[in-house]
Structure 1
């Protein structure tokens, strides 16, 4: 589906049907914007990495690796007391929004399974 043509060691042009995308493996960017947005290589970057026979794990952001997760949860989460320890709050009460009728025909309460005999 994709064809990758290297223009340098880190820059590739990836063609998908009639569209072309520029992938920069050094800066971890693609012109589609997916890689910069999510930290996970897009399909165009994946094609560039595959054509270079590189390892995909080297190009995934560090937030998705197990070492980072272990570091984030290294310290224990402290226990919290129940409602009896909460300080009373004075002011206006907060209520849920009012239920309003939605436009259009209301749905019937019967179900299709109940109609089958």
Structure 2
């Protein structure tokens, strides 16, 4: 990567390129240039409808959750950057840079010696297969007791009242 004069590690740049290709399916509907925020519609290739996402570039936030999670811009953020005239590569975290990658492995690694050199431990590892037993097939029955918040009509009324209070 250094000899090829790359700025980003391969794994990050390949993911960025895949998301960049996917960004053409997104259409910016509403936007605010000052806040660099946008509402975006994703067009489905298989006819299953569309989805809406909210992107706030200044806050490094997208409602899909990918932008803040791995710090590589999602396809929605890339399309928003294209719309606002911002370089989407600036949203890739510096942790993915070739320089950071090089720093990670520049220190000397010590060999791991055999078990006979390990310090003794004061605990015992026990394999208990019942702890990790899998549940059977099918939907699991909930033991939770439902209350009024679980009823859709009450929840919808509460959300409506909360919106009215904010406005």
- Tell me if the contact between 2:31 and 2:39 (Cα under 8 Å) persists in the aligned partners: yes
Runs of 4+ in 1 over 3 A off after TM superposition: 87-98
**SS in structure 2 opposite 1:26?**
helix
Distance 2:93 2:114 in 1: 38
Alpha-carbon deviation of 1:83? 2.5
Number of corresponding residues = 102
- Tell me if the contact between 2:77 and 2:88 (Cα under 8 Å) persists in the aligned partners: no
1:48 equivalent in alignment to 2:54: no
Structure 2 gaps, min length 5: 1-24, 44-49, 131-135, 137-167
2:39 to 13, 18, 31: 13
CA deviation vs aligned residue, 1:28-59 (integer Å, no higher than 9, x gap): 10112121122111111111112234322211
- Give the structure with higher Rg (CA): 1
The structure, 1 or 2, with the larger RCO (C-alpha pairs under 8 Å, 6+ apart) is 2
Please give the TM-score of this superposition, normalised by the length of structure 1. Answer: 0.65
Structure 1 gaps, min length 5: 104-117
Alpha-carbon deviation of 1:84? 2.8
Higher helix share: 2
Alpha-carbon deviation of 1:2? 1.0
